[in-house]
Amino acid sequence: MDPRAAPSDVDRAAQAIRSGGLVILPTETVYGLAADAADPKAVAAVYAAKGRPSFNPLIAHVADLEMARRIARFDPRAEALAARFWPGPLTLVLPVADERAVCDLARAGLDTVAVRAPAHPLARALIAAAGRPLVAPSANRSGRPSPTTFADAVEETGGTAAAALDGGPCGVGLESTVVALLDQPRLLRPGAVTRAQIEAVVGPLAEADADARRSPGRLARHYAPSAPVRLDATSPQPGEAWLSFGPGGAGPWNLSPAGDLAEAAANLFAYLRAADRTHPSGIAVAPIPHEGLGEAINDRLKRAAGFVG
Ligand code: TXA
Ligand code: MG
Q: What is the residue with the minimal CA distance to atom 17 of ligand 1?
A: 217
> Is the model's pLDDT at 172 over the cut of 70?
yes
User: Do strands 23-25 and 134-135 pair parallel, antiparallel, or not at all (unpaired)?
Assistant: unpaired
* Cβ of 30 less than 6 Å from ligand 1: yes
* Cβ of 187 less than 6 Å from ligand 1: no
* Cβ of 114 less than 6 Å from ligand 1: yes
Edge-to-edge strands, sheet with 186-189: 163-164, 23-25, 32-36, 134-135, 59-61, 112-116, 90-95, 177-180, 186-189, 206-207
Collect all residues with Cβ–Cβ distance below 8 Å to 143 and sequence separation of at least 6. 51, 219, 221, 222, 223, 224
- Cα of 180 vs centre of ligand 1, distance in Å, is 11
> Is the model's pLDDT at 223 over the cut of 80?
no
User: Could you give the C-alpha distances from 99 to 43, 63, 182, 292, in angstroms and in order?
Assistant: 14, 18, 17, 35
Query: What is the atom index within ligand 1 of the atom nearest the CA of 31?
Result: 6
Q: What is the pLDDT of residues 25-74, one digit of tens each?
A: 999 999 999 999 999 999 989 999 998 776 689 999 999 999 999 999 99
Q: What is the residue with the minimal CA distance to atom 15 of ligand 1?
A: 137
What pLDDT, on the 0 to 100 scale, is given for residue 218?
52
Radius of gyration of the chain (CA): 18
* Cβ atoms 283, 243 nearer than 8 A: yes
Q: Is the dihedral of CA 120, 260, 255, 137 positive or negative?
A: negative
Query: What is the atom index within ligand 1 of the atom nearest the CA of 189?
Result: 19
Q: What is the pLDDT of residues 99-141, one digit of tens each?
A: 999 999 999 889 999 999 999 999 999 999 999 999 999 999 9
The stretch 204-209 carries a mean pLDDT of: 87
Kindly identify the ligand whose nearest atom is closest to the C-alpha of 219: 1
- Cα of 151 vs centre of ligand 1, distance in Å, is 22
What domains does the chain contain, in order, with CATH numbers? Answer: 7-214 (3.90.870.10), 229-304 (no CATH)
Average pLDDT score over the chain: 92
The stretch 274-290 carries a mean pLDDT of: 97
* Cβ of 176 less than 6 Å from ligand 1: yes
Would you place residue 2 in the very low, low, confident or very high pLDDT band (cuts 50, 70, 90)? low
The stretch 255-278 carries a mean pLDDT of: 95
- Cα of 19 vs centre of ligand 1, distance in Å, is 24
Residue 95 CA to residue 60 CA, distance in Å, equals 13
Q: Which residues pair with 35 in a beta bridge?
A: 135
Q: What percent of the chain has pLDDT over 70?
A: 93
Phi, psi torsion values for 209, nearest 5 degrees: -85, 175
What pLDDT, on the 0 to 100 scale, is given for residue 212?
45
User: Could you give the C-alpha distances from 268 to 29, 129, 296, 304, in angstroms and in order?
Assistant: 12, 32, 11, 11
- Cα of 236 vs centre of ligand 1, distance in Å, is 33
What pLDDT, on the 0 to 100 scale, is given for residue 3?
57
* Cβ atoms 33, 136 nearer than 8 A: yes
Q: What is the pLDDT of residues 132-167, one digit of tens each?
A: 999 999 999 988 899 999 999 999 999 999 999 999
What pLDDT, on the 0 to 100 scale, is given for residue 55?
67
Q: How many CB atoms lie within 10 A of CB 16?
A: 22
Closest CA to 218 of 182, 241, 191: 191
Closest CA to 154 of 146, 145, 164: 164
Would you place residue 224 in the very low, low, confident or very high pLDDT band (cuts 50, 70, 90)? confident
Query: What is the atom index within ligand 1 of the atom nearest the CA of 113?
Result: 29
Closest CA to 124 of 33, 19, 40, 2: 2
Q: What is the pLDDT of residues 181-196, one digit of tens each?
A: 999 999 999 999 999 9
- Cα of 136 vs centre of ligand 1, distance in Å, is 8
What pLDDT, on the 0 to 100 scale, is given for residue 52?
79
* Cβ atoms 28, 122 nearer than 8 A: no
Would you place residue 216 in the very low, low, confident or very high pLDDT band (cuts 50, 70, 90)? low
What pLDDT, on the 0 to 100 scale, is given for residue 109?
86
Closest CA to 230 of 156, 283, 175: 283
Residue 13 CA to residue 21 CA, distance in Å, equals 9
The stretch 288-303 carries a mean pLDDT of: 94
What is the rounded (10 degree) CA torsion for 74, 77, 81, 87? 10
- Cα of 49 vs centre of ligand 1, distance in Å, is 16
Edge-to-edge strands, sheet with 282-285: 229-230, 282-285, 240-243
User: Could you give the C-alpha distances from 177 to 161, 199, 201, in angstroms and in order?
Assistant: 26, 12, 14
Q: What DSSP element (H or E) covers 188?
A: strand 186-189
